[in-house]
Amino acid sequence: MSTGLIIALANIFNSAFQGSMRWIMVGCGLLIFIYNLIVTFDQKQNEAVNQNTVGIVSRKRR
């Protein structure tokens, strides 16, 4: 997940790319970072839902 953030920060502070290419790299790095955050939060939310569902199912069987 930190790869996107590293790409973005490296291109902000490093002048290897000039002009618009630099900002394209920053934007791509931030998009990668945001996408990874969304995927991580979705996985955690699904795990929480699955844990709640298992509890409900086991109570119904009793």
Per-residue pLDDT tens digits of the chain, which is 62 residues long: 688 888 888 888 876 778 888 888 888 889 999 999 999 988 888 877 777 666 555 555 55
Burial of 17 (0-12, 13-18, 19+ CB in 10 A): middle
State phi, psi for 7 to the nearest 5 degrees: -60, -45
- The token pair at 56 is 């409900």
Residue-range definition of the domain harbouring residue 17: 2-61
Domain count, the chain: 1
